[in-house]
């Protein structure tokens, strides 16, 4: 018995079905009209199978192959636009129409199933993360606190100070990580307050100044005069996390001496746009899909939770988040605020 490798079993079956049905058409005399009608209906089988197995592209590939195989047969038996000729041509249209219909419907169903599965996975992951982070947090705070107290008591010449410094640095890092894990997994309830948007952004930027200095990256804030007075309802603590995460990523992506620009502008329709632009080396299109999945990171010490948190907070506010290429080859993370948020001014 022939052993067909699993990945090509389905395509081989489709090819055999199309070839078999086409062969039946060509080997049966045209006078047996009802046989041909039956063979024509058999073509639906590979189309529907392809749509289920391979989606729209697979179904279209099969229906096009059938068209190419069946068309010569139609012309070979052409009877000057008889009812049979018309019927055969309509069948071809039907095959392709059906391929599109079933392919699209199957594609939608698969996407909906994937979304449900992803939500379920995220919920399970979130619960486990929250539990782990919660358990880790208390001992970490204790370790960091004790190390700080010991450091204070240790005199400056003591070589153990270096070790204590290291403990403090590492426990701070772990504390930040558990903070991210908790932020990501906790259900988000926004505490919305009416705030001047520009001032809120500038306050958030103060938090990242020190990191920018360490990386030798400068931070520039630019804003339209009209955007300066825009007031919106937002959760300022959560929003600070958005700015901090986006700007930290931008700093980490920038070359030494680079610049991260935060721009606030208003569109002609009155929407506010916030851009965080870096002059790093950009993000390839194929990588962009993965960025918002938890734990996706390319950094040695990254958590891969920054962007998922940003996404969660931005969506909770009803805003949108977009990734674009900057003019210098770097990246722009763009947040678009909905118009309904901007009806008040300070």
Ligand X SMILES: Nc1ncnc2c1ncn2[C@@H]1O[C@H](COP(=O)(O)OP(=O)(O)O)[C@@H](O)[C@H]1O
CA 111 remoteness from chain centre: 13
CA distance 296 to 137: 22
Nearer to ligand X by Cβ, of 144 and 306: the residue is 306
The smaller minimum CB distance to ligand X, of residues 144 and 304, is found at 304
Residue with Cβ nearer ligand X (87 or 172): 172
Question: How far is CA 136 from each of CA 94, 122, 129, 145, 182, rounded to the nearest angstrom?
Answer: 61, 20, 10, 14, 11
- Residue nearest ligand X (C-beta atom): 306
The least distance separating ligand X from the CB of residue 176, rounded to whole angstroms, comes to 10
CA–CA–CA angle 86, 88, 94 (5° rounding): 105
Q: Using the rule CB under 5 A, give the single segment among 73-81, 277-285, 301-309, 324-332 that binds Mg ion.
A: 301-309
For the beta carbon of residue 215, count every other beta carbon within 10 angstroms: 18
Q: How far is the CB of 312 from ligand X (least distance, A)?
A: 11
Q: How far is the CB of 277 from ligand X (least distance, A)?
A: 9
Report d(CA 243, CA 262) in Å as an integer. Answer: 9
Residues at the site binding ligand X, with contacts judged by CB under 6 A: 245, 249-250, 253, 278, 280, 283, 291, 296-299, 302-307, 331
SS3 state of residue 264: strand
Yes or no: say if 240 and 203 are a contact pair by the CB < 8 Å rule.
yes
Min dist CB 252 to ligand X, Å, is: 7
Neighbours of 185 (CB within 10 A): 23
Tally of residues, the chain? 346
Q: Phi/psi at 98 (nearest 5 deg)?
A: -65, -40
Q: 277, 215, 202: which is closest to 246 by C-alpha?
A: 277
Stretch that binds Mg ion, among 121-129, 163-171, 179-187, 299-307 (CB under 5 A): 299-307
308 binds Mg ion (CB under 5 A): no
Residue count at the site for Mg ion (CB under 5 A)? Answer: 2
- For the segment 213-272, give every residue that binds Mg ion (CB under 5 A): 249
Q: How far is the CB of 315 from ligand X (least distance, A)?
A: 15
Residue 244 touches which member of Mg ion, ligand X, none, C-beta under 5-8 Å by kind? none
22 vs 249, which CB is nearer to ligand X? 249
Q: Which residues 6+ apart lie within 8 Å of 61 measured at CB?
A: 50, 54
The CB-of-249 to Mg ion minimum distance in angstroms stands at 4
Residue number with CB closer to ligand X (99 or 181): 181
Shortest gap between Cβ of 306 and Mg ion (angstroms)? 3
- Cα-flanking dihedrals φ and ψ of residue 4, to 5°? -90, 130
306 in contact with Mg ion (CB under 5 A)? yes
Considering beta carbons, is residue 107 or 179 the nearer one to ligand X?
179
Residues in a beta bridge with 272:
266
Residue closer to Mg ion (CB basis): 39 or 184 = 184
Q: Which residues in this chain contact Mg ion in the complex, by CB under 5 A?
A: 249, 306
């Amino acid at each position: 018995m022939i052993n067909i490798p699993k990945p090509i079993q389905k395509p081989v079956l489709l090819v055999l079905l199309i070839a078999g049905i086409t062969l039946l058409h060509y080997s049966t005399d045209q006078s047996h009209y009802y046989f041909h009608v039956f063979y024509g209906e058999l073509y639906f089988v590979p189309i529907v199978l392809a749509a289920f197995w391979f989606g729209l592209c697979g179904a279209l590939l099969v229906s096009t192959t059938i068209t190419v195989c069946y068309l010569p047969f139609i012309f070979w038996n052409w009877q000057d636009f008889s009812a049979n000729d018309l019927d055969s041509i309509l069948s071809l249209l039907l095959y392709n129409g059906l391929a599109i219909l079933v392919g699209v419907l199957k594609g939608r169903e698969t996407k909906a199933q994937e979304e449900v599965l992803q939500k379920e996975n995220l919920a399970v992951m979130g619960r486990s993360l929250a539990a782990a982070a919660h358990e880790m947090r208390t001992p970490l705070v204790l370790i960091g606190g004790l190390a700080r107290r010991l450091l204070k008591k240790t005199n400056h010449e003591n070589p153990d100070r270096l070790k204590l410094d290291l403990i403090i640095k590492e426990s701070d890092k772990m504390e930040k990580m558990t903070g991210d894990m908790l932020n990501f997994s906790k259900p988000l309830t926004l505490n919305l307050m009416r705030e001047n948007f520009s001032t809120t952004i500038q306050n958030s930027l103060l938090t990242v100044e020190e990191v920018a200095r360490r990386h030798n990256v400068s931070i520039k804030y630019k804003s339209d005069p009209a955007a300066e007075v825009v007031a919106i309802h937002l959760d300022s603590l959560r929003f600070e996390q958005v700015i901090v995460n986006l700007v930290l990523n931008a700093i980490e992506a920038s070359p030494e001496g680079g610049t991260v620009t935060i721009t606030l502008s208003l569109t002609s329709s009155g929407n506010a746009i916030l851009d965080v632009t870096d002059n790093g080396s950009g993000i390839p299109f194929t990588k962009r899909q993965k960025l918002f999945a938890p734990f996706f990171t390319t950094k040695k010490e990254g958590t891969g939770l920054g962007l998922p948190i940003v996404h969660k907070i931005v969506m909770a506010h009803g805003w949108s988040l977009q990734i674009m290429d900057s003019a210098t080859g770097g990246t722009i993370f763009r947040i678009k605020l909905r118009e309904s948020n901007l009806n008040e001014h300070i």
